[in-house]
Amino acid sequence: MGSYSFCIAVLVMFNLSFMDFSASLNPYFYAKVCPQALPTIKRVVGAAGCDASILLDSTSAFTSEKNAVPNANSARGFEVIDRIKYEVDKVCGCPAVSCADILAVAARDSVVALGGPSWEVQLGRRDSTTASESKANDDIPSPSMDLPELINSFKKQGLNMKDLVALSGGHTLGLSQCRLFKNRIYNESNIDPNFARQRRATCPPNGGDSNLAPLDPTPASFDTKYFSNLVSNKGLLHSDQALYNGGQTDYLVKTYSKNFVAFSKDFASSMIKMGNIKPLTGKRGQIRLDCKKVN
């Protein structure tokens, strides 16, 4: 632990000498502190986040965001982030890189590894010292939301309709639990009958809530099939199909379904925009020694 304390002291001195505590994020934040940080994250690439509050386990002081309804048993890869944190701290010689920045870079590298676009990740975030399940429930769009609710949810974060549709395209990757789409496949009418029948095979009306289904036909490939599914009324979640249901986002869905370049460009731009939402910088927050708990 002595070497950790020494390195932290060095980092504090570096920040005092070279960093403006009010400075915004920048992509070269670790260029001098730990130039091998980003290559290491790329090597052990994992999942995304914002200020790493989603990584915190529950304590007597707060309830983890992992338990928020949209995240519960769905936000996965926490152990991969732990591995990345270990490897980055090792190559840097100390905890130089925040868990929040690790999440942001890992998100970009994961998308690239699965055939998606790259973008310049702004760096210099600090980690939160608390987490809020209730705030996560309020801020994270629910899979049961209709289009006006989705638009308003994104607007509260400074994001527009294009951001909403482009970032929803992140559902081109991954799986969802039966409990989140059960009502859609049994009770909704704007759904392809064959698709509904296929999903019911692994999502019974009673039980099976944790059974998984792909969010689009190619859940390990960054492509436009998520949007093609929506045009065919094969959106898995209610909130997915809400993007293409006779509303004002239909044209974006149709555009992205036919134009991978346009989708990739807008997705990258929206990821940068989302990554700049109220980050902790300067003296605020901390750099966690363990991503699952505060120091």
Tokens of 248: 């004002």
Are 288 and 294 in contact by the 8 Å Cβ rule? The answer is yes
Q: Is 60 annotated as a binding residue?
A: no
Structural contact between residues 47 and 75, judged by C-beta atoms closer than 8 angstroms: yes
Extract the tokens encoding 249. 């986002």
Is 127 marked within a binding site? no
Could you tell me if 48 and 81 are in contact, meaning their C-beta atoms sit under 8 angstroms apart? no
What distance in Å separates the CA atoms of residue 252 and residue 30, rounded to the nearest whole number?
37
141 is in an annotated binding site: yes
Q: Is 238 annotated as a binding residue?
A: no
Phi and psi at 248, nearest 5°, equal -75, -5
The annotation status of 53 as a binding-site residue, yes or no, is yes
Is there a binding annotation on residue 204? no
Q: What is the 3-state secondary structure (H, E, C) of the chain?
A: CHHHHHHHHHHHHHHHHHCCCCCCCECCCCCCCCCCHHHHHHHCCCCCCCCCHHHCCCCCCCCCHHHCCCCCCCCCCHHHHHHHHHHHHHHHCCCCCCHHHHHHHHHHHHHHHCCCCCCCCCECCCECCCCCHHHHHHHCCCCCCCHHHHHHHHHCCCCCHHHHHHHHHHHHECEEEHHHHHHHHHHCCCCCHHHHHHHHCCCCCCCCCCCEEECCCCCECCCCHHHHHHHCCCCCCHHHHCCCCCCCCHHHHHHHHHCHHHHHHHHHHHHHHHHCCCCCCCCCCECCCECCECC
Annotated binding residue 257: no
49 labeled part of a ligand binding site: yes
Is 223 annotated to bind a ligand? Reply is: yes
List, as residue ranges, the binding site for substrate. Answer: 141
List, as residue ranges, the binding site for heme b. Answer: 171
List, as residue ranges, the binding site for Ca(2+). Answer: 49, 51, 53, 65, 172, 216, 223
List, as residue ranges, the binding site. Answer: 49, 51, 53, 65, 141, 171-172, 216, 223
